[in-house]
Structure 1
Amino acid sequence: MRAMDDEAAGPDRGPRVGSRVVVRHRLERPDLLTGATLTDVVGELVASDAEALLVRTRRGEVRVPRPLVTVVKEVPPAPSRRGAPHRALSVEGLQRVMVEAWPAVETARLGDWLLRASGGFTHRANSVVTVGSPGMPVPDALDAVERWYAARGLPPDVTVAVPLEADVHDDPVAVEALARGWAPRVPTLTLTAPTRLLAHHPRPDRPGGPHRVGDVQGVEVGGELTPQWFEAFRSYRTVDDEAVARAVLTGSPAQVFATARDEGGRVVGIGRLAVAAAWGGVAAMWVAPDARRRGVASAVLAALAGAAGRAGAASVHLQTDSDNTAALRLFEGHGFERHHAYVNLRRLAG
């Protein structure tokens, strides 16, 4: 196997190799004891082609011929600890879950690491997910990362994730990146919550009655990236290449866009939900400055959680900078809990 493997990006390729899946397929003959004609295989998808799927289960590898497959569905990594589903995944497991919630335009594998590039649009879509082993010493791996990003005209950028109580600066990848002079950005917190809690969370009391400027009158939810939603997104996020931004925003296995309007029809809030690996991922939450503290964000969040529930996602994740106290107050006030932290380290120009 090559040290670095390119892989396609986009929502139409089905579950990616390396993801945990359930494959429902027909039996070549009915089960003698039960008479069942269908069965499921659950495990890691290790190979996929036009002829068959190869799944690594706890009992070994199982080859399922394509003509017998009826359903292939990506599922979350196996829980690493007891407790509620939104708390049961390890740091590494949730990092893997989040990949397709904000998908990159181009990806490649370096051992277990995932390299992502999207023309510089956002850190998440242009950084390396350093989960697992790169298959070589860390200094050699970062050399390969530097070459890969240089070929795309981008600075190398790695994401290093750690438990909340750990110091990211002790991580071997961070130690090597810092020794090379790469600069860390502010830590990012990953928060999780049960979908049902968010969907039924009451909106906070709003002073001043129902007709203050900016009060939300309704939230539209749909799978289409509308011009109004994208215009609101561009009002607070830098978009140098519209085609790349649209590719990232619409590149998850499934996504929902929420648009909140005031009584005059003006867009006062937006949000995006991605559904991947049986989780919902909330992102791109924005409220117009003159509409804040009116329940707009709560209404958008509830609408997205409702969509996640209808899609079968029992848990939701989101990420916010650790110094964004207003966002943390909002999300934790609605039931989100801190799961882990990560830091992006990037080589600066010059």
Structure 2
Amino acid sequence: MEIIGGGRLEVRITGADVGKRVSVRYVTESAAAGGGFTDAVGVLTSWDNSVLLITRKSGESVRIAESTLVAGKVVPAAPARRRGPAATFPELARVTARAWQPVESEALGEWTLRAADGFTRRANSALPLGDPGLPVADALRRVRAWYEDRKLPAYVQTATGAEGAQELLCAELDRHGWRREVSAEVRIAALAPIGDLDADVSAVRLSRTVDETWLRRYQRFGEPGPAVRSVLTSGPSVWFASVAGTGEVPAAIGRCVVDGRWAGFMAVEVDPDQRRRGLATSVMTALARTALDEGASAAWLQVEADNDGARALYDGMGFAPHHHYHHYRWAEA
């Protein structure tokens, strides 16, 4: 990181730069014992009581005492991706939301409150994509009351790491007692190379409906109630893929939602005893070819940071991180 100006290190940021992307260097706690300096790059989300809060692309927050600053400056937004489709955060946020629709929703200004009988955080969280029409603290109280009325935990879904994302809101949630539970990456790629993969798709069955057999492999719920099927079948153009197993449970499954130029891949699961046989690739290739036939050209998916197997698979298909998303839960006193 280069923050040397005029032959010397300078702190060229102030509290007026809250909300901007910054790069800082500061003294570590171990400096006195032979340590040194540490760098941090991210959005400056607050500067209160002589402490800076910087939110990195991953959503991790770093607290830095003002007295330890050695250098700092405002830096441009991260450079545009050089491969794959161009995509803004607002566009992707709305596309991903349409692929996983709740059973019930209500507008709170430009926020959307979503519920689906507790099936998945995505369908049971507030989606803030603009101004709620009232101060954030008041909006969060409304969110809590709305979910309390439905006997559901209160969640807010946020994003970091892309231009126009929600680092400042994440800091507000943290200040108001909300705690981050789950984080994942949203990745994007060109769709055609996935459809062109040399994969055996002959055993992949595609359907517009989800049946009991498919649900036996999808282990994200207890007894599948009406909300499960409602959420899974929601979206502009939904496809389900499965590969028959040796019994009544498929060896592999997948779900794809086609929405304009985008094809979203979800619920790609493989029998643990059938892994490393290319079944996940076959499922995704078959779904990609169908999406290409419907006019899609770009792909997206979501993967949790600790799912190393899936990350390696998607790396090989050309998927690259676009932003991170997080679910904050109200931490009751």
Residues 1:334 and 2:330 aligned together = no
The answer to whether the 8 A contact 1:186-1:323 is kept is no
Match of 1:227 in 2: 212
TM-aligned CA deviation for residue 239 of structure 1:
3.2
1:23-50 CA distances to partner (integer Å, 9 max, x unpaired)?
A: xxxxxxxxxxxxxxxxxxxxxxxxxxxx
Once the two structures are aligned, what percentage of the paired residues are identical?
36
Match of 1:271 in 2: 254
Q: 1:251 to 1:153 in 2, by over 3 A?
A: same
Match of 1:69 in 2: none
- Structure 2 spans left out of the alignment, 5+ residues: 1-78
Match of 2:243 in 1: 260
Amino acid paired to 2:135 = P
The answer to whether the 8 A contact 2:85-2:190 is kept is no
Q: Distance in 2 between matches of 1:241 and 1:294?
A: 29
Number of equivalenced pairs: 255
Counterpart selection for 1:180 from 176, 179, 184: 176
The answer to whether the 8 A contact 2:256-2:263 is kept is yes
Match of 1:200 in 2: 196
3-state SS, counterpart of residue 109 of structure 1: strand
Counterpart selection for 1:113 from 111, 119, 123: 111
3-state SS, counterpart of residue 139 of structure 2: helix
1:327-347 CA distances to partner (integer Å, 9 max, x unpaired)?
A: 111111111111111111012
3-state SS, counterpart of residue 275 of structure 1: strand
Q: Distance in 1 between matches of 2:245 and 2:285?
A: 17
Q: Distance in 2 between matches of 1:83 and 1:195?
A: 16
Q: 1:265 to 1:346 in 2, by over 3 A?
A: closer
Pairwise CA RMSD of aligned residues? Answer: 2.6
3-state SS, counterpart of residue 121 of structure 1: coil
Amino acid paired to 2:195 = A
1:156-204 CA distances to partner (integer Å, 9 max, x unpaired)?
A: 1111112269997xx232222222332212321001111111111234x
Residues 1:280 and 2:284 aligned together = no
3-state SS, counterpart of residue 318 of structure 1: strand
Amino acid paired to 1:253 = P
Q: 1:277 to 1:85 in 2, by over 3 A?
A: farther
1:305-325 CA distances to partner (integer Å, 9 max, x unpaired)?
A: 111111211111110111211
Taking the TM superposition and a 5 Å limit, the aligned residue runs for 1:234-313 are 236-262=219-245, 267-313=250-296
Taking the TM superposition and a 5 Å limit, the aligned residue runs for 1:309-324 are 309-324=292-307
Match of 1:141 in 2: 139
Q: Distance in 1 between matches of 2:108 and 2:85?
A: 28
Q: Distance in 2 between matches of 1:82 and 1:175?
A: 25
Give TM-score scaled by structure 2 length.
Answer: 0.70
Match of 2:203 in 1: 218
Match of 1:99 in 2: 97
1:266-302 CA distances to partner (integer Å, 9 max, x unpaired)?
A: 6200000112244211101100010000101010010
Q: 1:241 to 1:294 in 2, by over 3 A?
A: closer
Q: Distance in 1 between matches of 2:128 and 2:151?
A: 21
- Structure 1 spans left out of the alignment, 5+ residues: 1-80, 204-214
